[in-house]
Structure 1
Amino acid sequence: MTRVDIFLKEFDEEAAITRKMLSRVPDDKYDWKPHRKSMSVRELATHIAELPGWVKLGFTTEGLDFAANPYQQEAIGNTKELLEYFEKTFADSRQYLADADDEILDIPWVLRNGEQIYDEGTKGGTVRASLSQTIHHRAQLGVFLRLLNVPIPGSYGPSADELGL
């Protein structure tokens, strides 16, 4: 099994979990945030939906410079749009990953903001970052949803809600 094969398996497995979590976001709670320093549900859920796109970004560029390309989030208004956006970013990037070979994973890739370097890694590192950041922010969304009394789906096993606890 190649490194790309391993990433593909994990990419598919995490997408299934992410899809379940994003589907629980209530349309009437998109502007809610648990704290003034927190992202809103809209910002967080949209970020989760865009994260698979880092695979395509990593494979098609030498890096990302926020000074040259300021971050602008997709405008999402409801959960139907959120899931459609997730499916698009996932499918686009999955195809790049499926067509890749292990050699591309070792090519350097840089994340920066002008002269400030955030990360000097590899294209394979962008795949790992996409997966890790998705898992991290998905858990954060789970806390948001719990605070909103929305039943949480299981991730790597059943949730307390699924067990009726």
Structure 2
Amino acid sequence: MYPSIQSFIQDYRNESASTQKLLDTLTDESLKLETASGYRTLGHLAWHLIPSGGLLQPTGLKFDAPPEDAEPPASASTIAQTYTKTVESLLEAVQTQWTDAKLQETVNMFGQVWTNGLTLQVFVRHEIHHRGQLTVLMRQAGLPIAGVYGPSKEEWIAMGMDAKA
């Protein structure tokens, strides 16, 4: 759980920067990749990473985001640009609409009582979870992967290191 607005802002700026690096690597063609019939395409998964009102809606936080049921665009650059704008709107909303005390207020989430601070933490972990899925699909699409919590294979090679697959 985040104890302060500043701790969330700092953490989410770092995490969203890692997500942005991956989204910036996508191509229009890669968005069509599907791992199996009936599962999200790479484009749907990338679009799902854009913050929306879903998980945060019960907290009352208001920020500019695409509609929850919006179809993903066919343009990778549109997805990446929308992510940038939505993250900034979310960060501004948290900074202007909430105080540290607001993080201790509770909401009903999935039949449980969560503090707003916990909800923000789950929100960030949700993004991290799907970002991991995105890297697998990107690898399958033959796209280069940006390192997130350490160098990727491509980055190790660029540093002249022996990179294991």
Classify the TM-score, shorter chain: 0.7 to 0.9
Partner of 1:26: 27
Alpha-carbon distance in structure 1 between the residues aligned to 2:11 and 2:22: 17
Partner of 1:157: 150
Partner of 1:110: 108
Partner of 2:160: none
1:116-154 deviation digits (Å, cap 9, x = unpaired) = x3x431222221122101111001000001111111000
Identical aligned residues as a percent: 24
Alpha-carbon distance in structure 1 between the residues aligned to 2:100 and 2:55: 14
Q: How does 1:99-138 map to 2 (within 5 A)?
A: 99=96, 100-112=98-110, 117=111, 119-138=112-131
Alpha-carbon distance in structure 2 between the residues aligned to 1:126 and 1:54: 11
Q: How does 1:2-151 map to 2 (within 5 A)?
A: 3-50=4-51, 57=57, 59-60=59-60, 71-99=68-96, 100-112=98-110, 117=111, 119-151=112-144
Letter in 1 for 2:144: P
- The structure whose residues are more often strand, as a share, is 1
| Equivalent pairs, count | 151
Unpaired stretches in structure 2, ≥5 consecutive residues: 62-66, 158-162
Q: Quick check: 1:45–1:141 contact (8 Å CA) kept in 2?
A: yes
1:61-111 deviation digits (Å, cap 9, x = unpaired) = 6xxxxxxxx951354221111012101210111012223221111212223
What is the TM-score with the length of structure 2 in the denominator?
Answer: 0.80
Letter in 2 for 1:40: T
Q: Quick check: 1:56–1:93 contact (8 Å CA) kept in 2?
A: no
Q: Quick check: 2:106–2:113 contact (8 Å CA) kept in 1?
A: yes
Change (3 A) 1:58 1:156: farther
Alpha-carbon distance in structure 1 between the residues aligned to 2:54 and 2:10: 17
Unpaired stretches in structure 1, ≥5 consecutive residues: 62-69
Alpha-carbon distance in structure 1 between the residues aligned to 2:71 and 2:103: 27
What is the TM-score with the length of structure 1 in the denominator?
Answer: 0.80
Letter in 2 for 1:57: Q
CA RMSD between the two structures: 2.4
Alpha-carbon distance in structure 2 between the residues aligned to 1:58 and 1:101: 17
Alpha-carbon distance in structure 2 between the residues aligned to 1:110 and 1:123: 10
